[in-house]
A = this chain, B = another copy of it.
Amino acid sequence: MSNDQKTDLQKLIDKIKNIDTAMMTTADDEGSLRSRPMRNMQIKEDGVIWFFTGYESEKTHELQKDAHVNLSYAKPDDQLYVSVSGRAVVSRDKAKIDELWNPALKAWFPEGKEDPNIGLIKVTIDKAEYWDSPSSAMVHLYGV
């Protein structure tokens, strides 16, 4: 990663770190685009964003056929909007699940991190953009 990319990524992290939920958009077999709220688990300096998911779920099936994903972040009170374009991989990486697990996740995985259907979505960022006032033009970040 170049220094410019590092600076951009840090800017992106600063924008989204206080927005705990992203809308994740995926394409289904017919090209129809669906989104759903996803609790943001971790965004790191390596440009990867992690989410928990049911390992078998509609979105993981969609991602296995077409890995493209958009994450949108909205904080209407601050007029802040962020778009992240990337590619997703679905995994069951035990060590990563341990690292990211927290008890609040029991709302989705009542059996805890031993839930047989627990999985992770790892999004690698290709491109990001943000808007932080209604009249401002978009700001490109990262890999344009």
Contacts and interface: CB of A to CB of B under 8 A. Distances in A.
Interface stretch (A9-17, A41-49, A95-103, A127-135): A127-135
Contacts of A138: 36
A44 to B, nearest CB: 22
A31 B27 CA distance: 9
This chain: copies in complex:
2
- Interface size class on chain A is 35 or more
Interface of A: 19-21, 23, 25-27, 31-37, 39, 66, 68-70, 72, 74-77, 81, 83, 85, 107-108, 126-127, 129, 131, 134-135, 138
24 contacts: A21-B74, A23-B23, A23-B81, A25-B25, A25-B33, A25-B35, A25-B72, A25-B83, A31-B66, A32-B68, A32-B85, A32-B127, A33-B68, A33-B69, A33-B70, A34-B70, A34-B129, A35-B72, A36-B138, A37-B81, A72-B74, A74-B76, A75-B76, A76-B76
